[in-house]
Amino acid sequence: MMLMKRRDFLKVGAAAGAMSALYGCAGGGKASGHVVVVGGGYGGATVAKYLRMWSEGSVQVTLIERNPTFISCPISNLVIAGTKNMEDITVSYDGLKTKWGVRVIQDDVVAVDAAKKSISLKAGGAMSYDRLVLSPGIDFMFDQIPGLNNAAAQNQVLHAWKAGSQTVALRKQLEAMKDGGTFAISIPKAPYRCPPGPYERACLVADYFKKAKPKSKVVILDANEDVMSKKGLFMKAWADLYKGTLEYRNNSEVKDVDVATNTAILEFDKFKADVLNVIPPHRAGAIATQSGIKLINNRWVDVNWLSMESTSTPGIHVLGDAIFPAPTMPKSGHMANQHGKLAAAAILNMLSGQEPSPDPLVMNTCYSFVDAKNAVHVASVHTYDVATKTMQPVKGAGGVSAARNEIEGKVAMGWAKNIWADMLT
Amino acid sequence: MKLRTPIVALSLMALAGAAQAADPNLARNLAATCANCHGTNGNALKGAGLDSLSGMEKGKILQKIADYKSGDKPASIMHQISKGYTDAQMDMIAGYFAAQK
């Protein structure tokens, strides 16, 4: 039943056979070909798994990821606050390999040749593809904050906005800080990854301070005019739980950092902190910005929302935080997972000579903790609009929590475990 | 076993008189938008506090959704998400999950 149309460089026969028994007939012409996925985060891991699952193994998938394991940004603020550890947010790529027959290669992609349909690997060698998926996440624009534009500075003034070693390092800085110290977190102008994330982090650090270092303070330096997500819920948490501990400052863009004194330099002001956490402005991950595909504002990839394909370069699909967002669509892990499924469905149609589905739908759910136990959510549903050629939010759908509550704190962890399984196992 | 879903989808589209040819995988694609929380093909992880929808009777899924939409059943989030899907879309999703094991 399984027909391998490409060179048999994947040992997928057994896995594919099992899948075909589990998932049955997909309908339509059979897709075949080789898809290379760059980046194994929420978007890339999802598209890799769903391509294998929905094609019943007839499409070969290679996932290239620079890290040995998946580490989740969502929930990582709980590691920074000390109530979770790194093991809690780390998932192996073994499920993608053994259960789904994805070839996972730990490496960096250094170049894309769209004309030849091939990519080059840092370790050497090239690889050809029938379709390429870039899910590179973000890279930071350190040139916008001159004092941070070197490796030593970046090891001291952390972003911890990509989960991993910086998550651990920021936790250590907070643990080492004296009681009575100040933690300052800066937020870049929107759009940025995870709109509520910085406010959640501020809450959780304030919660840690209240319990462990009660004389300490948290200051949010927000480049934006106002709280960008779940405003009422965060402001209520700050008033109810962190009065006297947490201070919010809007229109406070960090223009530079004096690393020697741990001082954030604003337009008209300076702010010295004991632990300074600067989230620099960001743009699509380097492989996307360097591959010659069309960007908007020289930062984000312009995509066709029926397929997630680059508007300029056929054969290259882009997912997740790297793309120019549709109206009100957040840069979130949940949304990247939805992009991955949209792209997987479209790619399978295209590989079997069909058009992508004309009416895709994606939705977002995002939980934020306001203390160790209580969480709040924002949800939205987005459908394709022919007139504007983009995804538009469905009117009357979505919304935020009525109030912070412990039930959603439990559901948030259930969400995390389920979405990690949906991507990786 | 798997023939059921496309038939449901096709008959719905016929009823709706849709001008554009529906993707035969529309039900599958729509159901996948639920999988982040409810598990791949509706198989939520046990003990994680989210409903597993795989193999649940279609009428039961549709009744739950109707109760969330109307507010008859209190929810933390599903009353907001369910309003983003049309009745026809929910019918396809429920049919897809009911056919899963």
Which H, E and C letters describe A349-390, residue by residue? HHHCCCCCCCCCEEEEEEEEECCCCCEEEEEEEEEEECCCCE
Structure confidence at residue B14 as a pLDDT band (50, 70, 90): very low
**Are the Cβ atoms of B76 and A349 closer than 8 angstroms?**
no
Region of B43 on the Ramachandran plot (φ > 0 left; ψ -120 to 50 alpha; else beta)? beta
Cα atoms in the Cβ-side hemisphere of radius 13 Å centred on A280? 21
What average pLDDT does the segment B37-51 reach? 94
Is B52 touching A (CB cutoff 8 A)?
A: no
> In angstroms, how far is CA B88 from the centroid of its own chain?
10
Query: pTM for the whole thing?
Result: 0.91
Q: How long, in residues, is chain B?
A: 101
Among B20, B39, B85, beta carbon nearest to A422: B39
Q: pLDDT tens across A337-347, in order?
A: 999 999 999 99
| Most distant pair of Cα atoms in chain B: their distance | 44
User: Is domain B24-99 annotated with CATH 3.10.20.30?
Assistant: no
DSSP B73: S
Question: For the ranges A168-172, A213-217, B22-26, B50-54, which has the lowest average pLDDT?
Answer: B22-26
CB-CB contact of B42 with B53 (8 Å):
yes
What are the b/e assignments for A344-380, b being 16+ CB within 10 Å? bbbbbbbbbebebbebbbbbbbbbbbbbbebbbbbbb
Is B23 touching A (CB cutoff 8 A)?
A: yes
Pick the closest to residue A35 from A52, A20, A22, A14 (CA basis).
Answer: A52
**Are the Cβ atoms of A422 and B36 closer than 8 angstroms?**
yes
Q: pLDDT tens across A210-230, in order?
A: 999 999 999 999 999 999 999
Among B36, B77, B84, beta carbon nearest to A334: B36
Which of helix, strand or coil describes residue B4? helix
> What tokens were used for A367?
């939980």
Chain B residues inside the 8 Å CB shell of A411: 49-50, 76-77
A294 CB-near residues (< 8 Å, 6+ apart): A301, A302, A310, A311, A312, A313
Q: pLDDT tens across A277-309, in order?
A: 999 999 999 999 999 999 999 999 999 999 999
Interface with B, mutate which of A91, A352, A418, A423 (most B CBs under 10 A): A418
Among A345, A401, A414, beta carbon nearest to B25: A345
CA distance B93 to B58: 9
Among B2, B29, B81, beta carbon nearest to A24: B2
Domain segments of chain B: what residues?
Answer: 24-99
CB-CB contact of A345 with A354 (8 Å):
no
Nearest CA in chain B to A24: B2
Pick the closest to residue A140 from A152, A132, A148 (CA basis).
Answer: A148
pLDDT of the residue at B21: 65
CA distance A20 to A22: 5
Interface with B, mutate which of A361, A410, A420 (most B CBs under 10 A): A361
CB-CB contact of A400 with A237 (8 Å):
no
Chain B residues inside the 8 Å CB shell of A401: 76-77
